[in-house]
Amino acid sequence: MYKYEISRKIEEFAPLETQEDWDCSGWGVNVEGYDEIRKLMLCLTVTDDVVKQAKEQNCDMIVSHHPMFCINCHSELVSESYTPQINVYCAHTNLDKAQGGTTDTIIEKLGLSKYKIKIEHDFLRVIDYKTSVEDFNNLIKQISPNARIINNKNVRELKKIAFCAGSGSEFINDAQEFGADCLVTGDLKFHTALDSEIVVYDIGHFESEVLVLPVFERIIGDKVEIVYAREKSPFSQI
């Protein structure tokens, strides 16, 4: 499969022009003359370990969610002569915004896709969903066993829930303005949590975004062999 056919399919789903100004989605490494892709690795983040896995499995290309500026990666991508060794393409904030992208996959994985999205704003999705906090806790644990909850107002019942994959704590106020009494996201900081007037679930950055990898697989199709990188959250319980 031609590599630009792969990038075209991804960009039809998540147009590059929709990415944030600070983002660098698209080609991270575009190896000249290395265009035919027989085997491709999907990952959340391009680390040295992921590149090593890709090379060991004879992959011609890596497709990731996180762009390469997110982590210091690098020796494995080039040879001793600093020649690029493998194609790398990423779709980041454009995939966050896309219909069926990162945030929508959380809703789908929780089995809540049947609840029509009422509001879409930047990276936010808001649905009407009535449930108890206790029941929603159990639902969240299905995708993130180590999730944390912030419930400063001791809320017992939820009626409208907002979702934002990745680091979405900056959207707490937006979620509240849209009438949501709960936000599901990742990477919550202490003072942000302390100030929140709505319920917030921190399900973890990794857990909230790794769910999107099968979306890449569906987009790319079956004309190329696809493998998944072995990845896990850098956080673990003590």
- pLDDT tens per residue across span 211-238: 999 999 999 999 999 999 999 999 888 8
Q: Does residue 40 surpass a pLDDT of 90?
A: yes
Copy the structure tokens of residue 7.
């990038």
Q: What is the largest CA-CA distance in the chain?
A: 61
Specify whether the CB–CB gap between 25 and 91 falls below 8 A: yes
3-class state of residue 65 by DSSP: coil
Average predicted confidence (pLDDT) for the chain: 92
pLDDT tens-digit map of 44-83: 999 999 999 999 999 999 999 999 865 554 555 655 544 5
3-class state of residue 167 by DSSP: strand
- DSSP letter assigned to residue 197: S
Nearest to 13, CA basis, from 210, 205, 224, 217: 217
- DSSP letter assigned to residue 55: H
Q: Give the whole-angstrom CA distance, residue 184 versus residue 177.
A: 15
Which amino acid makes up residue 230?
A: R
Predicted local distance difference test score (pLDDT) of residue 228: 98
Q: Name the residue with higher pLDDT: 81 or 140.
A: 140
pLDDT tens-digit map of 16-32: 999 999 999 999 999 98
The domains of the chain, with CATH numbers, are 3-94 (3.40.1390.30), 99-205 (3.40.1390.30)
Neighbour count for residue 146 (Cβ, 10 Å): 13
Copy the structure tokens of residue 224.
């190329």
Mean of pLDDT values over 136-145: 96
The dihedral through the CA atoms of 15, 17, 18, 22 has a sign that is: positive
Q: Give the whole-angstrom CA distance, residue 180 versus residue 109.
A: 20
pLDDT band at residue 122 under the 50/70/90 scheme: confident
pLDDT band at residue 189 under the 50/70/90 scheme: very high
